[in-house]
Amino acid sequence: MRLSFGTARADKVGLGLRVDLRAAQNALGDLAGKQVPFAAALAVTTLARGVQEAELDEEQKTFDKATPFTKRAFGKTVATKKNLTATVFIKDKTSDKGGQNAYLAPYVLGGNRSLGGKKVMLVPAGVRTNQYGNLSKGTLARLKEQPNVFIGAVTFRKSGKTIAGVWQRSDIPRGRRRDGSYGNRGDSQSKVHGVRTTLKLLIEFEDTTPVRKHLDFYGRAQAHVAKFAEPVLTDALKRAISTGRK
């Protein structure tokens, strides 16, 4: 049996595993040859399942704090006796939200980070994040309700630099410390990208930028198939022939 390995279209991360049975069926004759499609379907599905697990391992090595949703990114289809192709792919859509392919594809294929339909990327700066380093749900809405918080772009006169995001005004009066004593104006200042300001940057708005990491989806798949294809195919064929003789 000859195994072939193909990739998906340019904007979709995935691959297909397919086996050619003609040589095996001719060599084994009628009785054993009838079991070859079953063996091939079993083998290709087993390999696809192994590739799926290998991709999850590769993902966890690439991203330090992958969310549960990201860990469910890899799907697969199984082979049958009539369709001897199994596929492994990054999901395009799920029942309740967009799929993981949109934001993971650049890490595989290269390019800019996906903004998921948003105009800018929200980058936590001075606000608490969840265990995955992301903004918790509802954080932005809660910040908007605070009277000393505003959203917009701030241009610093000395540097000329403009930074857009969610800002918090200092609650310390100029020249007055929290304990009621007076001090320098610098007591209420912080640094934002090297610029001293009495404002605190909570969330920065960033344009999309090229990804900095690479998720080796195809390399990991090829390595798994190269290592396990022969023993998996051999074992499946032995099982199929044994079953056919009973």
Instruction: Examine the domain organization and report whether 61 and 125 are in the same domain.
Output: no
Q: Is the pLDDT of residue 74 over 90?
A: yes
Instruction: Examine the domain organization and report whether 106 and 33 are in the same domain.
Output: yes
Tell me the pLDDT band of 24, cut-offs 50, 70 and 90. Answer: low
pTM attached to this predicted model? 0.74
If one compares 170 and 143, the residue with the highest pLDDT of the two is 143
Q: State pLDDT tens for residues 135-147.
A: 888 888 899 899 9
Instruction: Examine the domain organization and report whether 219 and 168 are in the same domain.
Output: no
Instruction: Examine the domain organization and report whether 75 and 106 are in the same domain.
Output: yes
Q: Is the pLDDT of residue 240 over 60?
A: yes
| Bridge partners of residue 1, in order along the sequence | none
Q: Is the pLDDT of residue 191 over 70?
A: yes
The secondary structure of residue 62, as a DSSP letter, is H
Q: Is the pLDDT of residue 187 over 90?
A: no
Q: Is the pLDDT of residue 46 over 60?
A: yes
Q: Is the pLDDT of residue 183 over 50?
A: no
Most distant CA pair in the chain, distance: 97
Q: Is the pLDDT of residue 117 over 80?
A: no
Instruction: Examine the domain organization and report whether 7 and 107 are in the same domain.
Output: yes
221: closest CA among 6, 20, 19?
Answer: 6
Q: Is the pLDDT of residue 1 over 50?
A: no
Instruction: Examine the domain organization and report whether 55 and 139 are in the same domain.
Output: no
If one compares 7 and 71, the residue with the highest pLDDT of the two is 71
Instruction: Examine the domain organization and report whether 68 and 108 are in the same domain.
Output: yes
Q: Would you call 180 helix, strand, or coil by DSSP?
A: coil
User: Residue 168's pLDDT is what?
Assistant: 92
Q: Is the pLDDT of residue 243 over 50?
A: yes
Distance of CA 180 to the CA centre of its chain: 50
| Bridge partners of residue 142, in order along the sequence | none
Instruction: Examine the domain organization and report whether 102 and 14 are in the same domain.
Output: yes
Q: Characterise 213 by phi-psi region: left (phi > 0), alpha (psi -120 to 50), beta (else).
A: beta
**How many domains does one find in the chain?**
2
User: Residue 48's pLDDT is what?
Assistant: 94
Which residues have CB under 8 Å from 223's CB, separation 6+?
54
Give alpha helix (H) positions in the chain: 22-33, 36-62, 68-71, 101-109, 139-144, 217-245
Full residue range of the structural domain in which residue 138 is found: 121-206
User: Residue 239's pLDDT is what?
Assistant: 83
> Measured between alpha carbons, how far is 215 from 78 in angstroms, rounded to an integer?
24
CA dihedral 89, 58, 42, 29 (to 10 degrees): 100
Q: State pLDDT tens for residues 82-103.
A: 888 899 999 987 544 568 998 8
Q: Is the pLDDT of residue 66 over 60?
A: yes
